[in-house]
Amino acid sequence: MLHKSLIEDAAAIAGELVTLRRAIHAEPELGLHTPKTCEKVRVALAHLPLDWKDGPSTTGLVATLKGKAGKGRSVLLRGDMDALPMPEETGLPFASTVPGAMHACGHDAHTAMLAGAAELLCRRVDSLQGEVRFMFQPGEEGYHGARFMLEDGLLDPLPDAAFALHVIPNAPHGLVAGRTGPLLAAADQVEITVQGRGGHASMPQQTLDPVPVACEIVSALQAMVTRRFDVADPVVVTIARIEGGTTFNVIPDTAKLTGTLRSLSAANRARLRDEIHILAAGIAGAHGLTAEINFIEGFPVTICDARAVDFGEQVARSLFGENAFLRLDNPIMGAEDFAYVLDKVPGAMFFLGVSHEGDDWSQCCGIHSTRMMVDESVMPQGAALLAGLAEAFLERGFG
């Protein structure tokens, strides 16, 4: 069996993983600049023989461990560090002390597990052939942190492979899951402003009312998704916010729609924008109004290399048993900026189930919930998996 000692060594540092995770959880930071989190990571790993790099655009860090068994391959392991702008309602003793910010996506656990993997691999530095890079990344929650770190040259020269873990609270305890090809969707934002002419609500015939036109556009977008796109290459359009008007008896000049667009292919991502533009402008024009359509580009599709997924499955099963890995049948329509790394480097992202053992995981609060919880007893497994992926890749590559 592969590197069984990794499991024992990871269990031995469980306390350190929990301590770091809780410290990060209590002081969540948003966006591209997470100085307190970075300092916690630096302090936790200060005793290790790592070379550190940072860049001008973010507080992102890359720590490099050079193996002593000779030059060879290079592999990157990534953990994200930023939180979400939302309140916490877990009631945990180490809950967020920052109003309106919470680690509700598990990035605190990701960072702690990556730090744990660094600890485990540094203990094996004498037998490592090649180098391991540990990418501590801020700005995953919509801020394109991975793209900025790439543009800053922090990953140059590009590694031979890249891996990341993402915790899933509503999944079986300790299960590792992944798939070849699209794992997560591209995510863009759309803003549609319907421009009319306001007036008194009792005399709509004297106005160009944008509200019913905006509502018609919302309904038409759903018909467009089901009638213009192949279900085998799906897209999702969700209008999540409608703004218009100031009071009950005034027709406003404008109504604004804001939503998210998800797609699993570059072709449909581009086509979706074209179709929305034609639809919104056409419906508004049919009523004598105009529509301004604006798209805000988000993350690309997260595509996992087939060799990397096969390799990850082998490592997970070797470490944790034959039932440790699940092949997902379908992609998930969430999004991830690790996609920027996988666009340039062969690799994969895997999910790790962190529901409490014995709980009905299907009823657990999911990521981005104010009550999202992590079973910290799974974290040593995550650290061992990351370390195992790196060690095995340096030893034999994807073969």
Same domain, 9 and 149: yes
Q: Which range is least confidently modeled, 158-167, 187-196, 364-373?
A: 364-373
Whether omega before 157 lies within 30 degrees of 0, making that bond cis, reads yes
Same domain, 173 and 63: yes
308 pLDDT higher than 60: yes
Same domain, 163 and 55: yes
Same domain, 271 and 194: yes
Q: Are the C-beta atoms of 238 and 189 separated by less than 8 Å?
A: no
Residue range 44-73: mean pLDDT, rounded: 95
Same domain, 168 and 221: no
71 pLDDT higher than 90: no
137 pLDDT higher than 90: yes
For residue range 223-280, what is the model confidence (pLDDT) as tens digits? 999 999 999 999 999 999 999 999 999 999 999 999 999 999 999 999 999 999 999 9
Q: Which range is least confidently modeled, 119-123, 280-284, 361-365?
A: 361-365
Q: What integer pLDDT is reported at residue 331 of this predicted model? A: 96
Residue 80: which residues within 8 A CB-CB, separation 6 or more?
107, 110, 111, 137, 138, 140, 145, 338
Residue range 188-212: mean pLDDT, rounded: 98
Domain that holds residue 207: 186-296
376 pLDDT higher than 50: yes
Same domain, 165 and 220: no
Question: At 142, which CATH number?
Answer: 3.40.630.10
Same domain, 384 and 239: no
Q: What integer pLDDT is reported at residue 131 of this predicted model? A: 97
Same domain, 20 and 139: yes
Residue range 79-98: mean pLDDT, rounded: 97
- Of 262, 296, 330, the position where a domain reaches its end is 296
Same domain, 150 and 45: yes
Residue range 63-90: mean pLDDT, rounded: 95
Q: What integer pLDDT is reported at residue 217 of this predicted model? A: 98
Question: At 237, which CATH number?
Answer: 3.30.70.360
1 pLDDT higher than 50: no
CA proximity to 81, closest of 55, 64, 101, 103 = 103
When the pLDDT of each residue in the chain is averaged and rounded to a whole number, the result is 96
2 pLDDT higher than 60: no
Same domain, 265 and 138: no
- Of 270, 296, 322, the position where a domain reaches its end is 296
3 pLDDT higher than 70: no
CA atoms within 13 A on the CB side of 85: 6
Same domain, 209 and 78: no
Q: Is the pTM of this model over 0.85?
A: yes
How many whole angstroms separate alpha carbon 143 and alpha carbon 33?
10
How many whole angstroms separate alpha carbon 234 and alpha carbon 292?
25
Query: Between β-strands 176-178 and 325-327, what pairing exists: parallel, antiparallel or unpaired?
Result: parallel
How many whole angstroms separate alpha carbon 263 and alpha carbon 229?
10
Same domain, 159 and 206: no
Number of domains in the chain: 2
- Of 296, 325, 357, the position where a domain reaches its end is 296
